[in-house]
Amino acid sequence: MITVEDLSKRFGTTLAVHDISFTIQKGEVVGFLGPNGAGKTTTMRILAGSLGATSGHAIIDDLDVFKHPRRVKRRIGYLPERPPLYGGMTVESFIRFSANIKGASEPNAATRQVLHRVGLQQMSHRLIGHLSKGYRQRVGLAQALVHDPDVLILDEPTSNLDPAQRVEIRDLIQELAEGDRTVILSTHVLSEVEDICERVIIIDRGRLLTTDRIDALARETRRIKLRVARREPELADRLASLSGVVEVHEEPDGRFTLLTEHDIRADIARFACQYDLLELTGQERLEDVYLRLISGSGPDDPETTGTQEPVSSEQQT
């Protein structure tokens, strides 16, 4: 459904995206992760057809994004981090306007359906400029969905929302992701990615670090986290001497991190009970994997400064 091949984007002397390639199959929900300035927004704007690339190819639904941008835009729904909403329009009139310019076959019916889907029926006659951030974000999602696209490109859909609003939008995205719709989701809230996505694409300094399933990434290093009540001086050495333990690291928070050749949690649990075992976990969280990959991604490329590219008026409605 989405194919990116050797994609690069340069802003003057800054190489924001450097030769990245990945694929996303139909019906997949994929998290697109990286620190600020990694090139995520640039890549998503290129996929959405609102920014050109310096080199490489981007294909959506067998259409070249650069050769057929208008046809591609009719097949995708794009929610930028800062949706370009018109505050002087009512919710209903703005969504109907969006339905018309996106080529919905029956704009009025499409407007009614999407307002119901995102929970905006009661707000349909309110001015967008008078809405809360959470409802404005729903309007942004509605304009992305009004033409019933097969592909959703969501850039920080829960940014600047309070916890309750974030949960509402996350639940809505989970509902939208069901079925055959393909979703690429960029966010800094990694718990959302764990809840919604099965696979992640991680980039840093414009370069691709990995594209893999979350559970596969978490299994790669076989890390075991351990915390005991009685932390005696010889404990680290005794842990290191256990069969199957490769390395032992003492963490500042009082835990131990053990790198092992295979899953030996049962052996470690039996051993740690004599020190009053408090905690034993055998799989990294996505946050652990993310931080490990980012910290090991190497020094800055002199051409890739990591600064966020300016937002232009090319972001589509």
pLDDT for 172 equals 82
pLDDT for 133 equals 85
Write the DSSP symbol of residue 115: H
Q: How far apart are the C-alpha atoms of 191 and 194, rounded to whole Å?
A: 5
| Strands of the 277-281 sheet, one edge to the other | 245-250, 256-260, 223-228, 277-281
pLDDT for 284 equals 65
CB 300 within 8 A of CB 205: yes
φ and ψ of 6, to 5 deg: 50, 45
What does the pLDDT look like over 148-196, one tens digit per residue? 999 999 999 887 778 887 888 888 888 887 778 899 999 888 888 988 8
Domains of the chain and any CATH numbers: 2-215 (3.40.50.300), 222-283 (3.30.70)
pLDDT for 272 equals 94
What's the predicted TM-score (pTM) here?
0.78
Q: How far apart are the C-alpha atoms of 224 and 258, rounded to whole Å?
A: 5
Residue 81, C-beta contacts closer than 8 angstroms, at least 6 positions apart:
41, 155, 156, 159
Which residues of the chain are modeled with pLDDT < 70? 218-221, 283-284, 297-317
Q: How far apart are the C-alpha atoms of 95 and 236, rounded to whole Å?
A: 61
Convert 140-155 to b/e letters by CB count within 10 Å (16 or more is b): bbbbbbbbebebbbbb
User: In Å, how far are 129, 156, 248, 253, 275 from 228, measured between CA atoms?
Assistant: 54, 38, 14, 12, 6
What does the pLDDT look like over 267-285, one tens digit per residue? 999 999 999 999 998 766 7
At residue 5, the 3 state secondary structure works out as strand
Q: How many CB atoms lie within 10 A of CB 274?
A: 11
pLDDT for 230 equals 92
pLDDT for 285 equals 74
What does the pLDDT look like over 85-97, one tens digit per residue? 999 999 999 999 9
